[in-house]
Amino acid sequence: MEHWVFERQGQLTDRLISPAVYNLVIGLALLWGFMCNWWMVGNISTDWIRSLNPWLFYGGYFASCMTGVYLFARSSNPLVSFVGYNLVVVPFGLVVNLVVSRYDPQLVHEAIRITALVTVGMMILGTLFPAFFRRIASALTVALLLVIVVELVEIFVFRTHHSIIDWAVVLIFCGYIGYDWGRANQIPKTLDNAVDSAAALYMDIINLFLRILRILGRK
């Protein structure tokens, strides 16, 4: 199936599932990703992660993520998509492990709670106003690319970081959650599309969580 997940609007040969089952699969897939990350934080030593060669770590991170995104976005086989999803979950989990180790557990739990509430709110908005989020999708992409460039320049050229960037990233990924959730419920409701949609939402939510944690930690 040579179509990206959120462009699948035509007839599919895959068997359709009910909206309830479709949303349940999305929820279970998201839970799987979060529980994997939770296990990694509790069982993988941050000292071991830091001992890895930086080129090996970052090279493996990007290679795994890009391969995973390609698999779940291009494949119409739910098992292949799930493998791709896990290729994203694992490197994200290593990064989450490194980040949360720097913060008090109570602060991490607070960030999780806020992220969950914001996610549910944006999903509701994405359900109610899907057309609005479709209209701002291009703006979100441009804004994210701009923020990435600005942040890299700040870090590597000026050796600083402004909190306004974290707030901007939070707003951008709030928009992406609303957009991806709205689109997830407009494409054909198949098992594969449910896994693919969960993978897209997972990346939105993890990025939102990391920025919220950073904002709380700065306070």
- Residue 5 DSSP label: G
**Residue 186 is encoded by which pair of tokens?**
């407009």
Per-residue pLDDT, 5: 52
* Furthest-apart CA atoms within the chain: distance in Å: 54
The residue among 130 and 7 whose pLDDT is bigger is 130
Domain boundaries, the chain: 16-218
Distance CA 86, CA 4 (A): 18
Confidence of residue 113 (pLDDT cuts 50, 70, 90): very high
State mean pLDDT over 178-190.
95
Residue 15: pLDDT band by 50, 70, 90 thresholds? confident
* pLDDT of amino acid 11: 46
Q: Is the pTM of this model over 0.85?
A: yes
- Mean of the pLDDT values across residues 88-100? 97
Q: Taking residues 178-196, report their average pLDDT.
A: 95
Amino acid letter, residue 11: Q
Strands (E) in the chain, as ranges, are none
End-to-end Cα distance, the chain: 47
pLDDT number for residue 131 = 94
- pLDDT of 155 reads 85
* Average per-residue pLDDT for the chain: 92
